[in-house]
Structure 1
């Protein structure tokens, strides 16, 4: 089976994220993000260039979670796709490009953090632990019957 791939980007959140609601009532995350750029010199060294800035958007539950977890300055890695769009403003036709992230996470090479592995549903950690323990209880033994055993 072939490896499924998607476009990805990495960068840093350059503006304070915004959470709005679309016309269809869906959450929409928006922020400008920056990407650092470097030029490799003939001697093998690198010269840092000016960063470039682009639009980052997410929708629905991903947007809500990202808004809770990301702030200006955070480094990230995201999976999704580039989307070109056009619109009219004051009689002028304008166009742009945005990256629509379907998944996003902090860049582990540049971010220190703790991982909370508690299930995402409404249960507390203790309730989840109890449920897991119950799931592995041995089966209750059944009383034997006097019915004949098949195959003997």
Structure 2
């Protein structure tokens, strides 16, 4: 039989459905008087740490689909997705630290990093109408990405 109670498996998660629990081990007399650990050195020391099964650790990272890329070409495009730790059985979100035993998937990445063609002026982001409405076309960083829309009268 395990020296720890199975109902007390509430340590940090270290894997899917797996946690680690700790307890303090003292050297003491049968009356409960604590002694120096050297006085117990001839006795086998009970374990102070062990792995245990925990339903709270029955979790995994869930990711949504990537959003559309913010650019059609060039080096400014990025896309994002939602990443959350969820309970496998209930599929409900739980605190991220419960999934920290596994690497967290990326929640953003660069996209459409192919060079834009210089022969014709084309918008390289889908926000160009908003850029023009906000009168940002005179700024070079917006003018170069929205040259099609900004060039229209």
Interval of TM-score (by shorter of Structure 1 and Structure 2): under 0.3
TM-score (norm 2): 0.25
* Structure with the bigger percentage of strand: 1
TM-score normalized by the length of structure 1: 0.25
Higher Rg: 2
